[in-house]
Structure 1
């Protein structure tokens, strides 16, 4: 009985740790593996690149400036290069194509408009 109870507790803990996949249009993010799937391609992302995509996918249509993204993905103690966000976005675009993240000139970045219904 005690062994069964412990197994149930461990199984419940494992379920609590699972993170739902974040999907919007042609893209889906898996927080458990830090992978992004977009238009049939799946790649693992760095923690910061993943965080940027998570912000953009969870808030479709919202345009984020570079400084807003920096505030969301870095802590006060982090040393941040002036072009860090651009480097992460460049890496994402290199893996998935330039059209995955749109640059709204002079304003910021947003997730690409998607095909189909969303």
Structure 2
């Protein structure tokens, strides 16, 4: 999951980012509405965590602006404003959830996954594809009940496909899921991660759509080669 964090308190933002990264989430952190606009225009974020009290205005006005422009990314308002009126205004203004500071990190992550699940039209927290299952909260992947060890990037990539099982995802979309704006990405990095997923979960688990990108393969293409039991790639 790629998270855009909009928080002007550097200490709070650093703590949230570090906490989310322990759950293998990819986080881009900005401090103003102007920076948030720039990021949303240049890459695709799965979910936005947005403070209301920002240096260049009320974050809620940014939500309203995005919604008017057709931006559908789920937004969680994270703020110290705890009055009922503030919560109602936030949700009425286009935000999808509202969490008051101080908060518990586990609850924040659970809410983010709930937003992503609802956006994908899924009821269950565990993602299934035939014999393949992925529990995002536990960071656990199994095939036929057998655990498969994936690296952090491989797991995030598989999650992106499972949340959009019928979609062709471009290389750019997949890179947005895997990397933040400031990450140093080698040109063949995406191909390497896809190769590792195919080796561990079956050659047909990810299909190449020539000229467009990649999509999740048929459910019966999932397999568990011996390589899948050897642990994460280096």
Q: In the superposition, relative to structure 1, how do residues 41 and 86 fare at CA in structure 2: closer, same or farther (>3 Å)?
A: farther
Residue 112 (structure 1) aligns with = 217
* Structure 1 unaligned residues grouped into runs of 5+: 1-12
Q: What is the CA distance between 1:28 and its match in structure 2?
A: 1.0
Residue 84 (structure 2) aligns with = none
Cα distance in 1 for partners of 2:184, 2:106 equals 35
Q: What is the CA distance between 1:51 and its match in structure 2?
A: 1.0
Cα distance in 2 for partners of 1:77, 1:34 equals 24
Residue 84 (structure 1) aligns with = 189
Residue 59 (structure 1) aligns with = 164
Q: What is the CA distance between 1:84 and its match in structure 2?
A: 0.7
How many pairs does the alignment contain?
103
Q: What is the CA distance between 1:26 and its match in structure 2?
A: 2.9
What TM-score do the two structures reach when normalised by structure 2?
0.39
Q: Aligned to 1:29, which of 129, 134, 144?
A: 134
Q: Deviations over 1:3-40 (max 9, x none)?
A: xxxxxxxxxx7984667322233321122443322355
What TM-score do the two structures reach when normalised by structure 1?
0.73
Residues 64-75 of structure 1 mapped to structure 2, 5 A cutoff:
64-75=169-180
Runs (4+) of structure 1 exceeding 6 A deviation are: none
* Structure 2 unaligned residues grouped into runs of 5+: 1-103, 114-124, 221-234
The structure that has the greater radius of gyration is 2
Q: Deviations over 1:49-68 (max 9, x none)?
A: 11111111011110111121
Aligned residues of 1:64 and 1:109 also touching (Cα < 8 A): yes
Cα distance in 2 for partners of 1:72, 1:58 equals 11
Q: Secondary structure at the match of 2:169?
A: coil
